[in-house]
Amino acid sequence: MSNNNQTIYWRGYEELTNDLEFVKNADQEFNLPSDEEKSSFSDRRDFLKVLGFGVAAVSLAACEAPVKHAIPFLNKPEEYDPGVANYYASTFFDGGDYASILVKTRDGRPVKVEGNKLSSITNGGTSVKTQASVLGLYDNNRYQNPKKGGANTTWEALDQEVKQGLEAAKLAGQPIYLVSGSNISPSSNAAIASFASAFGSTVKHIQYDAFSSHGLLEASKEVSGNRVLPGYDFSQAKVVVSLGADFLGSWLSSTEYSRQFAKTRRVSPTNKQMSRLFVFESLMSMTGANADYRTNIRPSEKGLVAAALYNEVAKLVGGTPVETSAPSTNRYIKQAAEQLVAHRGAGLVVDGSNDKNVQKLVLQLNHLLGNFGKTISFASPALIKRGSDSDMNQFVDALNAGQAGAVLFMNCNPVYDHPRGGEIKAGISKAGLSLSFAYAPDETAASCKLIAPNHYFLESWGDAEPKKNCYSLVQPAISPIYKTRQAEESLLTWAGQTTSYYEFVKSYWKSNLYPLQKYGYGNFKDFWNYSLHDGVFEVNGANPRTIASAPSAGDSTAVASVAPAPVIISGPEPAMNFDMSGVSAGISTDYKVSNSGFDLVVYEKVGMGTGAQANNPWLQEFPDPVTRACWENYLVIPVALAKTLGLKVTEGKTIKVNLKAGGKSIAVPALVQPGQNSGTVGLAIGYGRTETGKTGKDVGVNAYPLVKFLNGALNFTVNGVSVEANGAEHLVAHVQTHHTVMGRPVIQETTLEKYSKNAADGRFFPKITTVNGEEPASAFSLWFNDEEARMNNKPEELEGTTNERAKGPNKRPNHQWSMVVDLNTCFGCGACVVACQSENNVPVVGKQEVLNRREMHWIRIDRYYSSDMSKEKAKKESVGMLDMYDAMEVASDDPEVVFQPLMCQHCNNAPCETVCPVLATTHSTEGLNQMTYNRCIGTRYCANNCPYKVRRFNWFSYPENKEFDYNVNNNLGKMVLNPDVTVRARGVMEKCSMCVQRIQEGKLYAKKEGRRPVDGEIITACAQACPTEAITFGDLSNKESKLYKLLSEHKDGRAYTLLEEINTRPSVVYLTKIRNKA
Amino acid sequence: MNQRLTSQIVRFSFSFLFCLGLLTPRFSHADSTAVAAAGAPAPAVAAAGGGDAVGGEAVFKANCKQCHAINDVVVGPALKDAHKRWPSKEKMAGFIKYPQKVIDGGNAYAKGLYDKYKQYMPNHDFLTDGDIDNVIAYIVKESENPTVAKEETKVGPSSPEKGSDEGSGLLAPVIAILLVTLSVVIVLLLVVINLVSKILGQKREDLNESDIDQLEGDINWSILFNHPLFKGVVAFVFVVMIGKVVFDKFYSIGIQQGYAPDQPIAFSHKLHAGMYEIDCNYCHTGVNKGKSATIPAANVCMNCHNVIKTESPQIKKIWNAVENNQPIKWVRIHNLPDLAYFNHAQHVKVGGIECEKCHGPIKEMEVVQQHSPLTMGWCINCHRETVVKTEGNAYYDKMVEIHQANHGTKKLKVEDIGGLECSKCHY
């Protein structure tokens, strides 16, 4: 076999260093039993005893079948039918992560969250947190009653006490503080205003963000006059420069930006253009991983890098440079500046810091480049972050000074997620009245006297304005499970208003939004009903109803399948005032080139976010896209530091280190991260919760207290920290070194330049040398007969024209389900992983089982690093073979990263099927590799024979098992289970089914209406969740399908299947990764 | 010598028959099911087109019959000559669509009806204008020219039998061989009986010597009993019988065929579906929509029973349930295991299968019982035999085309479109 043009990838630091432990375990998919487990093995006597009891129990149980009941409605609602799902449009919002969603409810309970295609912001995309949010509703730990001092009370008693407390504060002239996270709901803000008016000017509404954007908001205020975030449109940008802004992962509205950015990364024979992404960052983020050019910089030099970029641009376009010292590295700065200038008006510079000066410089840079009104805008600002660090500081000061008459906490948890949390905790007791609206226990609620539990958002009414002129509604998908009350309704009650919050929202929309509508609805009732049905109302958007064929209320799918052309930036830009005085001085004082000690970056993880959903087991078990570790946070350290510490991370085995920052010292496990700046360490927020349910409690450490202030804003980089070995050993649940690929070329990639010359560049074509010369590997097969040819999924061969053997009866008379994954638009966010978990009842197994390599996710996103050396390069530079392999083992400073979603490949020549002794895994005539749980006897032959390692074995019974005390171990948590998917028993194999339940449902809809399914009507959960549409699912036998067209377009170019040389003929096709680099 | 042989044959034949009788109930039952299934009428062809009154009859049966008859007052008035009581067909159609609107709108005749029956007829706005025209045509026809002979609509096998769990493939030759064996045995029996009666009819002195020997001689049973072949056969038969009993018992674990629990309300399908011929769909509204056919909500019962038989103690139970907001806890009869997915809409709406095909003679059941075994073998068997209802459903067009290209005129059965694949029911 020849391996042309392959960059060598290594899966982790362990593989690179060829560690003994790694090599030993590399080919074992399932860990060997531990000593503890071995000791629990049963002997022959035990076996006989169990057998005897078992037989007796079965015979007894079989004597009488249990009586089951069927309880119908007394009065059935018209729009509801048991067993048929209803979808309700709603809105998810958590710490900047906004998504317009459709909530799938079955038999009255929400079971799944899907993206809403009608929103111009998310356009059907979702994030990991959005997908996981449905589980929060069934958190067994939620408050079930209002509480006073830890004991249950009634709403009447609570109302009375709160009213008294508020009146007392009002009389005493003490301020009433209402602290909340960024409140993007106009109705909620109106309700707060109405509450404030009832208690006079003493009410102060403080908004803050745990992961603050105060610096950008203040810079925007000085520039545009409004304290708003600029609106971004990455889809119009040909060059994007990110200065530490993880806009694909955790920065602001990353779902929206991912979708926009993906539009510029779709390369095809007809569109050989692609944006170019430069990233300058300290840690390795998801955005950095997707960069075309990445430079690691030290956080303490961040401002200098921004200034250097600015000065380069200013030099080229003739602006005034700012005076600062130069950063220690200027790698790619010049190229970035040149590219930006070459694409003026089609470039975008974003910055992730919370420093007003740097943000102002970046805004000025965008202005200099003429990007305003095109890729960045103050005319269509984003409103998802509104928090003020200075307001929060004033509040904490006042609270500790004992000035607060009353303090109410709404949708926030500052005791945990604010650096001054300790002070807040101490100060709360000084307030006359302290109350939290938390729906489940948190650190702040634990310090408050009263708890007025809020509804979960899936039980609530409300609205949101994530962007100017873009509104969406929140509607309940279930009636409240517990005796909770919506926070706004509580505020209105205390303000003496008797209207329900539903009426309040409705009347707000009637008086404020109805007059804005240009949809042509004749009356408010229609406007309201259709807005509620669509979930969104966009002032400048097209009416979805003029696009859709028939406006039928209650039928969300009919309308939701049509996406309107998004209006991202509209209207003239407001006058901008770039007063740059003080900027260069500020940057010069705050940023210095330094080589001593380490800088700590406190960052946000894509899955866990700010920690509000820490008790969500799906999120805890979600592996971080870059580190691939789950169930805790850890100190990511650069390779150089690992060498100093003498640390080798092997099989998750690592040590704890003492991180000393600003007088605080915490012991935290270390994890080596290639590509990270050698003077930087990183720690994620969102962990170390102390007051929450069992799942999230005491998992990891809390990084918030380490955050410091800079120019009045939270500074998420801490300079001058030290790291020393602690001595204690630790295991990090790390999934990347599992499921090995045996070094085969599963990642195929090229550059844009090479691609435009040769569409098949970077492809690996396995060849076998025969007497007739080299022949493609696909010409040889274990299944060498005409069946095999008919069951392949190459479009041209389906035609039966090029391959003689393809003729004969069609073995796929109905459908041929298939999937295309574009590696170029998969940014690795992992929304698909949790979507699949939610759709397919995938159990959570916990940290220990992940360490045992027994995680159950049906889809995983493999992350591969590459090294600089390649065979091509060695040839060019005439490097000897031994030197070349040596060089391949040396890590580059900025390794390139590729993400690859991997699920069951549904091979048409499936190796798993031939080895099952009981025919539990078979092939369907629709091209699906079927897994029949009730037939499986658990030999695991199939998993051993699967070359892709996508099969999962149920080592335990996870439901009703106290060893796995997650959501399916309690009756409330089980409500989230999808009723159409079997909960697997112990001892059976499972794997991706290509969402066969969704396929069957979609087919039935079509059959009932006597038509063929429409393309896009049947779609898997992963494809639905994907914010970038990197996954395309469809019917290959439908020539009109997007999938067929995509494959036809790429069949001689980017399309490849994994391990083509073994001729398994997968139904999942990948498109090569393309980088836009020289 | 000859007679000795004959009598031995007779004895052996009896014992053989006895053994066969013990061994074969399964096959013979299977046989009767197969016959019954073959004898069941094909699914009723929808009355498409073909005159207004015919179409109207279907609409009438599905939507009106619950409350109206042509000649009798049921819940609402008798509909004989109803068309003559309305000034125009449009007016009448308007009333059928939105009765309350017409009554509240002040139509004197409509108001009169309301005063008499004290009840609004529900809106029928879901009916198309064509449907309503057809119904009116049907009423006209019935008024002027009533149908005399009432067609019988009994469907399905008349006697409940044990279900067949075996596949049908091997069964036919086995049955044929058995039938041949049986007829040979019967012929032999007849010969023997004839012989015996002839011998018995003879006088003793007329018999020859060997016959007298035979008559008087004792049969040496010990030779027979001690013969190893005999012992072997007996042991074999015994083991097979015990084995079969044990197997059957184990096999029937979890099969609740014939399960007919007492229900909280003594609802009679015989009365409602049988006597009054209320369409199944009227109450089991989910049957065309989704997985579950659904047990009707109490408000469906109340559509009729707020006027009919309100004094009945059973109806009072429904009243109590509604008034106390206590849902009725019916006992679930058909329980599929969680690992099997079944969808009513697929079978009824798409497949056009009659309810009786699985639920048996429901129209004769006072208390509903589980008619079918609901085993996988039973499902699979039907998927092997049933022809897919492809007419008028564009979903199947391509498959029919491919099937005909490959198999000619052979009917497209469910198994041909993947109906035996695992993940059609298990996921």
**Residue B34: its pLDDT value, please?**
35
Q: Which of B155, B152, B67, B151 is nearest to B113 (CA)?
A: B67
Q: Which are the contacts of B61, defined by CB distance < 8 A and separation ≥ 6?
A: B277, B279
What gap in Å lies between CA A496 and CA B325, rounded to an integer?
33
Tell whether the model's pLDDT for residue B207 goes beyond 80: no
Q: Which are the contacts of A340, defined by CB distance < 8 A and separation ≥ 6?
A: A239, A241, A313, A347, A349, A369
Closest residue to A69, CB basis, from B285, B322, B330: B330
pLDDT level of residue B334 (50, 70, 90 thresholds): very high
Contact call for B422 and A930, based on CB within 8 A: yes
Q: Once rounded to an integer, what is the mean pLDDT over residues B165-194? A: 81
pLDDT by residue (tens digit) across A168-182? 999 888 999 999 999
What gap in Å lies between CA A50 and CA A73, rounded to an integer?
44
Query: How many angstroms separate the Cα of A252 from the Cα of each of A57, A242, A627?
Result: 57, 13, 21
pLDDT level of residue A39 (50, 70, 90 thresholds): low
Give residue A852's identity as a one-letter amino acid code.
Answer: N
Closest residue to A1011, CB basis, from B325, B394, B403: B394
Tokens coding A971: 């009756």
What gap in Å lies between CA A95 and CA A211, rounded to an integer?
8
Q: Which of A437, A411, A434 is nearest to A424 (CA)?
A: A434
pLDDT level of residue A338 (50, 70, 90 thresholds): very high
Tell whether the model's pLDDT for residue A701 goes beyond 70: yes
**Å between B27 CA and nearest CA of chain A:** 26
Adjacent-strand bridge partners of A916: none
B146 in contact with chain A, both atoms CB, cutoff 8 A: no
pLDDT by residue (tens digit) across A604-638? 999 999 999 999 999 999 999 999 999 999 999 99
pLDDT level of residue A8 (50, 70, 90 thresholds): low
Tell whether the model's pLDDT for residue A2 goes beyond 50: no
**What's the predicted TM-score (pTM) here?**
0.82
Collapsing DSSP to helix, strand or coil, B119 comes out as: coil
pLDDT by residue (tens digit) across A351-409? 999 999 999 999 999 999 999 999 999 999 999 999 999 999 999 999 999 889 999 99
Adjacent-strand bridge partners of B45: none
**Residue A568: its pLDDT value, please?**
74
Tell whether the model's pLDDT for residue B372 goes beyond 80: yes
Residues of B in contact with A993 (CB under 8 A): 423, 427
**Residue A7: its pLDDT value, please?**
59
Tell whether the model's pLDDT for residue A805 goes beyond 60: no
Q: How many CB pairs under 8 A join A and B?
A: 153
Contact call for A69 and B331, based on CB within 8 A: yes
- Which segment of A229-243, A811-825, B156-170 scores lowest on mean pLDDT? B156-170
Residues of A in contact with B288 (CB under 8 A): 1008
Residue of A nearest to B415 (CA): A925
What gap in Å lies between CA A103 and CA A83, rounded to an integer?
16
Looking at chain A, the whole-number percentage of residues with pLDDT higher than 90 is: 63
Tell whether the model's pLDDT for residue B160 goes beyond 80: no
Query: B264, B317 in Cβ contact below 8 A?
Result: yes
Contact call for A982 and B427, based on CB within 8 A: yes
Contact call for A83 and B398, based on CB within 8 A: no
Phi first, then psi: what are they for A1024, rounded to 5°?
A: -65, -40
Residue of A nearest to B327 (CA): A74
Burial A536-549, CB ≥16 within 10 A → b, else e: bbbebbbbbbeebe
Interface test with chain B among A58, A75, A80, A997, by most B beta carbons within 10 Å: A75
**Å between B298 CA and nearest CA of chain A:** 5
Closest residue to A72, CB basis, from B261, B297, B402: B297
What gap in Å lies between CA A576 and CA A728, rounded to an integer?
55
Residues of A in contact with B291 (CB under 8 A): 82-84
**Residue A394: its pLDDT value, please?**
94
Closest residue to A84, CB basis, from B290, B335, B341: B290
- Within its chain, how far is the Cα of A116 from the centroid? 16
**Residue B308: its pLDDT value, please?**
82
What gap in Å lies between CA B62 and CA A630, rounded to an integer?
58
Give residue A556's identity as a one-letter amino acid code.
Answer: S
**Residue A40: its pLDDT value, please?**
59
Contact call for B395 and A1007, based on CB within 8 A: yes
**Residue A802: its pLDDT value, please?**
40
The highest-confidence range among A12-26, A91-105, A532-546, by mean pLDDT, is: A91-105
Tokens coding A613: 């959903």
Residue by residue, DSSP assigns A765-779 as --EEEETTEEEEGGG
**Residue A55: its pLDDT value, please?**
78
Tell whether the model's pLDDT for residue A846 goes beyond 50: yes
**Å between B269 CA and nearest CA of chain A:** 17
Q: Which residue in the block uniquely carries the two structure tokens 């899955």?
A: A607
Query: A951, A921 in Cβ contact below 8 A?
Result: no
Closest residue to A1010, CB basis, from B325, B392, B423: B392
What gap in Å lies between CA A837 and CA A550, rounded to an integer?
34
Closest residue to B292, CB basis, from A82, A996, A1011: A82
Domains of chain A: 147-211+388-560 (3.40.50.740), 217-381 (3.40.228.10), 595-734 (2.40.40.20)
Residues of A in contact with B395 (CB under 8 A): 1003, 1006-1007, 1010-1013
Tell whether the model's pLDDT for residue A560 goes beyond 70: no
Interface test with chain B among A60, A73, A836, A999, by most B beta carbons within 10 Å: A73
pLDDT level of residue A19 (50, 70, 90 thresholds): low
End-to-end CA distance of chain B: 69
- Which segment of A585-594, A682-691, B126-135 scores lowest on mean pLDDT? B126-135
What gap in Å lies between CA A117 and CA A95, rounded to an integer?
22
Adjacent-strand bridge partners of A765: none
Give residue A181's identity as a one-letter amino acid code.
Answer: G
What gap in Å lies between CA A376 and CA A219, rounded to an integer?
14
Domain spanning B52-144, CATH class: mainly alpha
β A276-281/A293-296 pair status: parallel
Residue of A nearest to B348 (CA): A1008
Q: Which of A831, A875, A876 is nearest to A857 (CA)?
A: A831
Give residue A731's identity as a one-letter amino acid code.
Answer: L
H-run or E-run covering A709:
strand A708-710
Where do the structural domains in chain B lie, given as residue ranges?
A: 2-41+161-219, 52-144, 269-424
Q: What is the dihedral of CA A767, A768, A774, A776, to 10 degrees?
A: -50
Question: B317 versus A888: which is more confidently predicted?
Answer: B317
Residues of B in contact with A932 (CB under 8 A): 422-423, 426
Tell whether the model's pLDDT for residue A597 goes beyond 90: no
The highest-confidence range among A639-648, A1068-1077, B57-66, B397-406, by mean pLDDT, is: A1068-1077
Interface test with chain B among A60, A78, A80, A81, by most B beta carbons within 10 Å: A81
Neighbours of A69 (CB within 10 A): 11
State the maximum Cα–Cα separation within chain A, in Å, rounded to a whole number: 99
For Cα atoms A582, A583, A584, give the angle at the middle one, nearest 5 degrees: 95
B399 in contact with chain A, both atoms CB, cutoff 8 A: yes
Query: Mean pLDDT for chain B?
Result: 79
Q: Which of A719, A591, A679 is nearest to A306 (CA)?
A: A591
pLDDT level of residue A766 (50, 70, 90 thresholds): confident
Give residue A843's identity as a one-letter amino acid code.
Answer: P
Contact call for B328 and A71, based on CB within 8 A: yes
H-run or E-run covering B104:
helix B99-104
Q: Once rounded to an integer, what is the mean pLDDT over residues A972-979? A: 93
**Residue B238: its pLDDT value, please?**
95
Residue of B nearest to A809 (CA): B406
Residues of B in contact with A816 (CB under 8 A): none
Q: Which residue in the block uniquely carries the two structure tokens 């695992």?
A: B422
Tokens coding A1060: 């083509």
**Residue B28: its pLDDT value, please?**
37
Tell me the residues of chain B between 339 and 378 that have a Cβ less than 8 Å away from chain A: 339, 341, 343, 345-346, 349-350
Residue of B nearest to A814 (CA): B399
Rg (CA), chain A: 29
Contact call for B426 and A933, based on CB within 8 A: yes
Query: A450, A158 in Cβ contact below 8 A?
Result: yes
Query: Mean pLDDT for chain A?
Result: 87
Tell whether the model's pLDDT for residue A3 goes beyond 90: no
Give residue A496's identity as a one-letter amino acid code.
Answer: G
**Å between A923 CA and nearest CA of chain B:** 8
Provide the 8-state DSSP code for A689: B
B408 in contact with chain A, both atoms CB, cutoff 8 A: no
Contact call for A1000 and B427, based on CB within 8 A: yes
Residues of A in contact with B345 (CB under 8 A): 1004, 1008
Q: Which are the contacts of A543, defined by CB distance < 8 A and separation ≥ 6?
A: A518, A519, A520
Query: B331, A67 in Cβ contact below 8 A?
Result: yes
Contact call for A74 and B289, based on CB within 8 A: no
**Residue A902: its pLDDT value, please?**
94
Query: A333, A312 in Cβ contact below 8 A?
Result: yes
Provide the 8-state DSSP code for A547: H
**Residue A85: its pLDDT value, please?**
92
What gap in Å lies between CA A817 and CA B19, rounded to an integer?
54
Collapsing DSSP to helix, strand or coil, A635 comes out as: strand
Q: Exposed, middle or buried: residue A522 (CB in 10 Å: 0-12, 13-18, 19+)?
A: exposed
H-run or E-run covering A1073:
strand A1073-1075
Looking at chain B, the whole-number percentage of residues with pLDDT higher than 70 is: 80
Query: How many angstroms separate the Cα of B91 from the Cα of each of A832, B60, B79, B84, B86?
Result: 57, 18, 15, 11, 7
Q: Which are the contacts of A136, defined by CB distance < 8 A and separation ≥ 6?
A: A440, A456, A613, A615, A616
Tokens coding A6: 């392959």
Interface test with chain A among B282, B324, B427, by most A beta carbons within 10 Å: B427
Q: Once rounded to an integer, what is the mean pLDDT over residues A272-298? A: 93
Residues of A in contact with B290 (CB under 8 A): 81-84
Residues of A in contact with B256 (CB under 8 A): 65
B291 in contact with chain A, both atoms CB, cutoff 8 A: yes
Please tell me chain B's helix, strand, coil percentages from 3-state DSSP, rounded to the nearest 5.
Answer: 60, 0, 40
**Å between B333 CA and nearest CA of chain A:** 8
**Residue B217: its pLDDT value, please?**
65
Residue of A nearest to B299 (CA): A75
Query: A372, A347 in Cβ contact below 8 A?
Result: no
What gap in Å lies between CA A581 and CA A577, rounded to an integer?
12
Closest residue to A1006, CB basis, from B328, B349, B395: B395
Q: Once rounded to an integer, what is the mean pLDDT over residues A76-104? A: 91
Q: Once rounded to an integer, what is the mean pLDDT over residues A274-293? A: 94
Query: How many angstroms separate the Cα of B162 from the Cα of each of B34, B226, B258, B371?
Result: 12, 40, 9, 9
Query: A1077, A751 in Cβ contact below 8 A?
Result: yes
H-run or E-run covering A931:
strand A929-931
Residues of B in contact with A1004 (CB under 8 A): 343, 345-346, 350
Looking at chain A, the whole-number percentage of residues with pLDDT higher than 70 is: 88
Residues of B in contact with A84 (CB under 8 A): 286, 289-291
Q: Once rounded to an integer, what is the mean pLDDT over residues A508-512? A: 94
- Which segment of A191-195, A316-320, A714-718, B154-158 scores lowest on mean pLDDT? B154-158
Rg (CA), chain B: 31
B417 in contact with chain A, both atoms CB, cutoff 8 A: yes
Tell whether the model's pLDDT for residue A1031 goes beyond 70: yes
pLDDT level of residue B12 (50, 70, 90 thresholds): low
What gap in Å lies between CA A434 and CA B398, rounded to an integer?
69
What gap in Å lies between CA B44 and CA A368, rounded to an integer?
77
Tell whether the model's pLDDT for residue A782 goes beyond 70: no
Question: B415 versus A788: which is more confidently predicted?
Answer: B415
Closest residue to B345, CB basis, from A70, A809, A1008: A1008
pLDDT by residue (tens digit) across B209-242? 777 776 666 677 888 888 889 999 999 999 999 9
**Å between B261 CA and nearest CA of chain A:** 9
Q: Which of A578, A536, A250 is nearest to A385 (CA)?
A: A250
State the maximum Cα–Cα separation within chain B, in Å, rounded to a whole number: 109
Contact call for B394 and A1012, based on CB within 8 A: yes
